[in-house]
Amino acid sequence: MALAIPEGDIPPVEEYDPEAEDRDESFVEKLAQDFTEAEEPILHDVYPDSDDEAGEHRGGGDRGTHINRGDGTMYVGQKFFNGIAFKECVTDYALLTGYNLKQYRYDRDRLGFRCVGAKGKCEWKVYCASLQNESMWKVTRYNNKHICVANGECEMFKVPVIARLFLDKIREDPEYYMPQKMEQIIMEKWKISATRPQCQAARRKALAWIELEYDSQFARLRDYAAEILEANQGSIVEVDTIRNEAGQDIFNRFYVCFDVLRRTWKESCRPLIGVDGCFLKSKIKGQLLVALGRDADNAIYPIAWSVVQVENTDNWQWFVKRLKIDLDLGDGDGFIMVSNRQKGLIKAVELELPNIEHRKCVRHIYGNLKKNHPNKKQMKKLLWDLAWSYNTRQYEERLERIHAYDSKVHEDVLKTKPKTWCRAFHKVGNYCEDVENNSTESFNNTINKAREKPFVAMLEMVRRLAMVRIAKRSAISHDHKGLCTPYVTKFLAKEHKKASECIVSSSTNGMYEVHLDYDKHRVCLRSMTCTCRKFQICGIPYEHAYGVILKKTLQAEDYVCQWFRTSKWQLNYREGLIPQRGPRFWPSTQTDMVYAPPSDDSKMTKADKKRKKGVNESLTKKQPKQKKRIMHCGICGAADHNCRFHRKKNNATQGTQGEVSTQGEVSTQPSQPCLTQEN
């Protein structure tokens, strides 16, 4: 899209650059690779290492500094479309040779440049003028002779020129191309000396141009929606606006669900949806709401995403209603939704999907409980053990342990309705044992860089990330030769040790009695059931069923449910998103412009863009501004010392307490108690 920039500072319209597109594609592929690596595997009955809901994702790697320019060729009779194109040609010549060129003619229809080297005695000169009989510019005089030596100085290398050189690079990675780096690249690549203030001004100018460009793209949000529908037919895109008193369309909400994604999820993915929201960090504030499924390898599969101004009941109900229609969820019966305990989301699900199995994330429940019970160290283990209970007997026993540990913790746990997040009450048949929303949290963390970009650029990065990831997964799945996916192989490897310890006794009708750890269970391979309910919930032979399979020398993969088969995995990635065109080629819908909603917030700083850690998350050295934890004594409760302080004090006073007084009596006066201090 053309930039609305004053004349004289207009960046040139560059030709198609395949190398730049390859670099951009490699950047997205790198994000997709990071996204794949960032996916947290479902670790069965493994306690989280920390209280963090999601670790920070850190990318790395070298950045390319290749900037494409013309070859700077000039000759008498050479024609240009306008004076700007001629200036660009002279700039390319200066970059190629490093001579000190300066413009000496500034007329509207005539431009001239000369070399000011050798104290102004150099003979090099070029002159170009506009033709009278046609709208072209032509080089009429050109003396290509230098008597000077390049010394790194170039007077025509001014702020707008530097800004145009680094425009695309700053757009791609503004945090990397800082003034110092720009100054270094200019000297290394073109042997021209640019000052630090010049680079600072050039970077500010380039950022201003980029901001105008992105503002123009946001105004054409309906054209962007039309491009999605034209490239990926059958998709659902909704741009919701509110008309203000001035008659302008103010942005309210945006939703997109690609036809390929929803068809694939309905045909080949388990009836599982993970939903969550995360903050946007650009000029236009809001929340990015996402809905994710799971493929046959138990990895993330994107379904739909939306942008709203605030995370409330109305917007969540709008998003859930759109999912309900697009995914044919009906009243939710037979489907699973995993989310945090956001009040607006819970209310929206109750209204739109009253019969769906809505599981709450245990990580968020534990985080909320820890706020009220910060000193209960064993609460974490007891809570996760409760969530991992596969049957009602385990559930009752572990709930009783919590009551024995602390009655107040037990009361607060009951208030969270544990039957909504405990495996013992999961419906059988959907083959999902998740009790946390790790996959969606991982997705939000992976798109952290995208969330810092302007609105349309952010949507485009999320779309390309999904497109590239599907292409990568398609290649991996079609190269896989096993009957089941790699997830099943890892699952069975984890269960092999326990399964080999089982003592199996045969019965009739394909049933077996399995002894393990002073406990017995009934297994039926024909119906793929076990009385511990692990087999029915997971869909993969667990320790008891796997023990029977090892005893009978059968193939464990034959008893894995269909959702984890390689054929289903390949079906997940049979189709992918169709690539889209850039803003220059978006279809024109001839509709009203979309304006950004008013905001009183000041511009976000770099610190504001970082993820805010929770109240009970571990502090690190990278957060010096936050108040550090204060050590408190476990005996007297005072600050700045622990119980070892009292042991040392007792050892030091042990001799004096047993000494005989001057009256010949043993001193029995107790030592002075430790004074408590307020935090």
Residue 283 pLDDT: 85
Other CB atoms within 10 A of residue 260 CB: 19
pLDDT at 629: 59
Question: Can you give the pTM of this predicted structure?
Answer: 0.75
pLDDT band at 50 (very low <50, low <70, confident <90, very high): low
| Position 33 confidence tier, pLDDT thresholds 50, 70, 90 | low
pLDDT attached to residue 133:
80
Mean per-residue pLDDT, 472-499: 95
3-state secondary structure 61-79: CCCCCCCCCCCCCCCCCCE
Q: How many CB atoms lie within 10 A of CB 305?
A: 23
Residue ranges of alpha helices (H) inside 98-158 are 117-120
What does the pLDDT look like over 435-465, one tens digit per residue? 988 888 888 888 988 998 999 999 999 999 9
Identify which of 443, 474, 351, 10 has the alpha carbon closest to the alpha carbon of residue 205.
10
Residue keyed to tokens 């690079």: 169
pLDDT score at 673: 38
For residue 525, count other CB atoms closer than 10 A to its CB: 19
Mean pLDDT of 243-251: 93
Which amino acid, 373? H
The predicted structure's pLDDT at residue 538? 93
- E strand or H helix at 324, and its extent? helix 313-326
Tens digits of per-residue pLDDT, 352-400?
999 999 999 999 899 989 999 988 989 999 999 999 999 999 999 999 9
Q: Other C-beta atoms within 10 Å of 526: how many?
A: 9
The pLDDT value recorded for residue 442 is 84
Per the listing, tokens 């302007």 go with 454
The pLDDT score that the predictor gives to residue 316 is 96
Q: What pLDDT does 638 receive?
A: 74
Phi, psi angle pair for 130, to nearest 5°: -80, 135
Question: What's the Rg (C-alpha) of the chain?
Answer: 34
- Retrieve residue 609's tokens: 């863009």
Burial grade of 329 (CB within 10 A; 0-12, 13-18, 19 or more): buried
CA distance 627 to 520: 52
- Segment 265-278 shows an average pLDDT of 94
**Other CB atoms within 10 Å distance of the CB of residue 375:** 8
Distance between CA 278 and CA 284 in Å, rounded?
14
Look at 412 and 31; give whichever has higher pLDDT: 412
Residue of 160 and 662 predicted with greater confidence: 160
**Exposure class string for 608-635: b at 16+ Cβ within 10 A, else e:** eeebebeeebeeeeeeeeeeeeeebbee
pLDDT band at 67 (very low <50, low <70, confident <90, very high): low
Q: Return the percentage of the chain with pLDDT > 90, whole number.
A: 65
**Tokens, residue 574:** 């049979």
Mean pLDDT of the chain: 84
Higher pLDDT, 93 or 57: 93
What is the spatial distance between Cα 105 and Cα 111, in angstroms, rounded to a whole number?
5
* Tens digit of each residue's pLDDT (9 = 90 or more) over 279-328: 998 888 899 999 999 999 999 999 999 999 999 999 999 999 999 999 99
pLDDT computed for residue 397 by the predictor: 95
What are residue 529's phi and psi, to 5 degrees?
-130, 155
- DSSP, collapsed to helix, strand or coil, labels residue 36 as helix
Q: Which residue has the tokens 């970009």?
A: 453
Q: Rounded mean pLDDT of 40-61? A: 50
Which of 124-138, 259-273, 379-393, 439-453 has the weakest average pLDDT?
A: 439-453
Per-residue pLDDT, 639: 73
pLDDT greater than 90 at residue 24 = no
d(CA 380, CA 386): 10
Identify the pLDDT of residue 65.
46
Burial of residue 372 (number of CB atoms within 10 Å: 0-12, 13-18, 19+): exposed
* CB atoms inside a 10 Å sphere around CB 383: 24
Query: Residue 330, by phi and psi: left (phi above 0), alpha (psi -120 to 50) or beta?
Result: left
| 3 or 375, higher pLDDT | 375
Decide: 239 and 221 in contact? Cβ < 8 Å.
Answer: yes
Average pLDDT on 11-26 reads 47
Question: Per-residue pLDDT tens for 163-190?
Answer: 999 999 998 888 899 999 999 999 999 9
Task: Please give the pLDDT value at position 25.
Answer: 53
What is the model's pLDDT at position 606?
53
Mean pLDDT value of segment 149-175 = 91
What is the rounded average pLDDT of the residues 340-345? 89
Cβ neighbour number for residue 19 with a 10 Å cutoff: 10
* Contact (CB, 8 A) for 74 and 126: yes
**Residue 294, token pair as written in the block:** 């799971």
Q: How far apart are the first and last CA of the chain?
A: 58
- Say what the pLDDT of residue 63 is: 47
Ordered DSSP codes for 399-445: HHHHHHH-HHHHHHHHHT-GGGT-GGGPPTTS-----S-HHHHHHHH
Angstrom distance (rounded) from CA 111 to CA 104: 8
In this predicted structure, which of 12-21, 133-142, 528-537, 570-579 has the lowest mean pLDDT? 12-21
pLDDT tens-digit profile of 82-98?
Answer: 999 999 999 999 999 99
Q: Cα-flanking dihedrals φ and ψ of residue 451, to 5°?
A: -70, -15
pLDDT for residue 60 is more than 70: no
